């Protein structure tokens, strides 16, 4: 049985908004990761870990995993807490 993880990817360091954080991603887990002794890179003979499938919502990704008999793990995103304050608050405390 193949293992997959379902998650929303985090934004890159070059992004300040949440524009690309709407899609859920289903990604296969690597079966046998090995360390390349020459370069130190992680490699694998399993090519499924290179496949990423995007879905509009979490339910579609879970349904896809169930229909294909994948063992899945859902990683819920952390919600950001916004603290709204004025610029003057930096100097008053």
| Whole-model pTM over 0.85 | no
Contacts of 28 (CB under 8 A, 6+ apart): 2, 3, 4, 46, 48, 49, 51
Strand 24-28 to strand 34-35: parallel, antiparallel, or no bridges (unpaired)? unpaired
Q: How confident is the model over 39-73, as pLDDT tens digits? A: 888 777 778 878 899 999 999 999 999 999 999 99
> Rounded mean pLDDT of 85-90?
85
Q: Domains (ranges, CATH) in the chain?
A: 3-92 (3.30.160)
Q: What is the mean pLDDT of the chain?
A: 85
Q: Is the pLDDT of residue 82 over 70?
A: yes
| pLDDT (0 to 100) of residue 18 | 61
């Amino acid at each position: 049985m193949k293992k997959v993880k379902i998650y929303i990817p985090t934004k890159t360091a070059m992004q300040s908004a949440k524009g690309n954080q709407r899609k859920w991603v289903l990604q296969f887990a690597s079966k046998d990761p090995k360390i390349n002794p020459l370069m130190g890179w992680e490699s694998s003979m399993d090519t499924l870990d290179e496949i990423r499938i995007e879905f509009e919502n979490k339910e579609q990704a879970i349904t896809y995993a169930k229909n294909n008999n994948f063992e899945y793990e859902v990683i819920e995103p952390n919600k950001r807490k916004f603290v709204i304050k004025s610029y003057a608050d930096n100097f008053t405390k």
